[in-house]
Amino acid sequence: MAMLTLTLENKYVDILKDLDSSPVEIIAKKILTDAVQHYALERINERITKARQQILFFETKYGLVYEEFQKRISADTGFVQQLEQADPVWDLDLETWQYYIEVLSTWLGRLQNISKM
Amino acid sequence: MAWTIAKHIENVITKAEHFLQDVKIIQHDEDIQRAIIALEGKWQNYRVVIQEIHRVDGTIRYAYCLLNEANKQLYRFDNSGDRLAIKLRYKADWKKYQHAEIPHQHDPDNQVTLTNAAMTFEDFLMWLSNKME
């Protein structure tokens, strides 16, 4: 566990003492942990939502999920020709699609870690 | 954030806006382990599409494409795991390197040739100025 020392202004120490009979250090640690967890969850969920929206955009555009799309372009030359006719740089979508799948995987992993707190 | 690529991406966008017309950002995202910038614009009567994916280990997946008015791809410089490029580099052993990132270029006649080194956006703009002027 990484240790981080924070300084709390006297006015907050005083109010915590007045509001709770537990030691200030314990109350402050709990409040801070809860606040950081809440903040982290919010920010992680923003990243997850963005990645999911991007993935959904490509799934809708190509009518397939990524794995099926990969299989189709590997096996179906007619399909690849259609894609190339529609846009010769269609394969850059594939790179972006994969990018957001990796982003999603990263943040789902981080979410799992945070949720264990 | 332990890693940031913001300055490089900002530089790419600035250069694109300086050299190209009607620049449109297609993708721009900076995450903790990777970042992407994709944009397109016009250069003379050509369509230019570029994409860079930066990874935290310093490797870059890139593609710089030039298309004509009919939207036919004329040239492309990239390091995707192109099968022809991998065969050119590794010959009989190519199957061992199926996802290797090999810097190469595609010409208008669909020929693939290996390039000596990875290309940057600056290199591409220089090539564009020299080759197409």
- pLDDT tens sequence across B43-99: 999 999 999 999 999 999 999 999 999 999 999 999 988 888 888 888 888 888 888
Closest partner residue to B71 (CB to CB) among A88, A91, A95 is: A88
Domain residue limits at B32: 6-132
Residue B67 forms contact with A (CB below 8 Å): yes
Laid out side by side, the sheet with B73-78 consists of B21-30, B34-43, B46-55, B60-67, B73-78, B104-106, B112-114
Whether B1 is in a domain gets the answer no
Q: Give me the pLDDT at residue B110, please.
A: 85
Q: Which residues on neighbouring strands pair with residue A37, listed in sequence order?
A: none
Higher-pLDDT residue of B28, A1: B28
The pLDDT assigned to A116 comes to 72
User: What is the per-residue pLDDT across A52-108, written as a single tens digit (0 to 9) for each?
Assistant: 999 999 999 999 999 999 999 999 999 999 999 999 999 999 999 999 999 999 999
pLDDT at res. B82: 82
Domain count, chain B: 1
- A92 and B72 within 8 Å at the Cβ level: the answer is no
CB atoms near residue B11 (< 10 Å): 13
The average confidence (pLDDT) of chain B is 91
Beta-carbon contacts of residue A33 (< 8 Å; ≥ 6 apart): A117
Q: Could you give the 3-state DSSP secondary structure of residue B15?
A: helix
pLDDT for res A117: 54
Is B38 part of any domain?
Answer: yes
Instruction: Determine the pLDDT at residue B56.
Output: 93
A89–B31 CB contact, under 8 Å: no
Here the ipTM equals: 0.90
Residue B101 lies in a domain: yes
Nearest to B63 among A50, A92, A102 (CB): A92
Q: Choose among B38, B72, B80: nearest Cβ to A96.
A: B38
Within a domain: B59: yes
Distance CA B43, CA B40 (A): 10
Across the range B19-43, mean pLDDT stands at: 97
Burial classification of residue A99, based on how many CB atoms lie within 10 Å of its CB (0-12 exposed, 13-18 middle, 19 or more buried): buried
A10-26 residue pLDDT tens? 999 999 999 999 999 99
Residue B3 has pLDDT above 70, yes or no: no
Indicate if the pLDDT at residue B1 is higher than 50. no
Q: How far apart, in whole angstroms, are the C-alpha atoms of residue B102 and residue B89? A: 8
- Is B100 part of a structural domain of the chain? yes
Residues from chain B contacting residue A95 (CB–CB below 8 Å): 51, 53, 61, 63, 80
